[in-house]
Amino acid sequence: MIKSLSVVVILTTLTAACGQLADRHIEYQQETPLAFPVITALGAAPISAQPGASDSQRMLMAMRASKLEAYRELAERVYGQRIDSKNTLSAMVAQNDVLEASVQGVIRGARVVKTYAVEDTYITELSLDFAEVYATLQHTEPKQSIRSVRYLW
């Protein structure tokens, strides 16, 4: 009985040791999506409402504001928008209603398609091609899947 138990313990130890000594070779392959969307965003800012001492300064500020607005819209479309709400009721009557919206994200690879003024509004059009975003990310964080695994003894 003790002899057969010791044989089982020795075989179990050898099997576990062989499993730890075995090495494996993993082969990866690149995964490329079938299609890449192109999304656009439009940002607008009133020229006369911008701070500045002259019309040209107000125009430059409106250009910057419209570009930031377009980037915000792109970020909303890529990452979504966070909505926080708080309501207060007293005697089943709404007393206070607060709604906050925010967006957070990084937009890489967006291109300015067109910038122009229409009456008192400055407009910026942006485009984001996900094929370019994918190519940029492949250099920093390549997406791969396992093609095969071979165990070497």
pLDDT in tens, the chain (153 residues): 555 555 555 555 555 555 555 577 777 777 777 888 999 999 999 999 999 999 999 999 999 999 999 999 999 999 999 999 988 888 888 888 888 999 999 888 899 999 999 999 999 999 999 988 888 777 777 667 777 777 776
Q: Is residue 69 part of a domain?
A: yes
- Structural domain includes residue 25: no
**Domain annotation covers residue 24:** no
Does residue 18 fall inside a structural domain? no
In a domain, 71, yes or no: yes
Is residue 31 domain-resident?
A: no
Q: SS3 of 72, please?
A: helix
Number of domains in the chain: 1
Q: What does DSSP assign to residue 51?
A: -
Domain, as residue range, for 87 = 36-152
Strands (DSSP E) found in the chain:
23-30, 38-46, 82-90, 93-102, 111-118, 121-129, 144-152
- pLDDT of amino acid 40: 95
**What pLDDT does residue 20 have?**
54
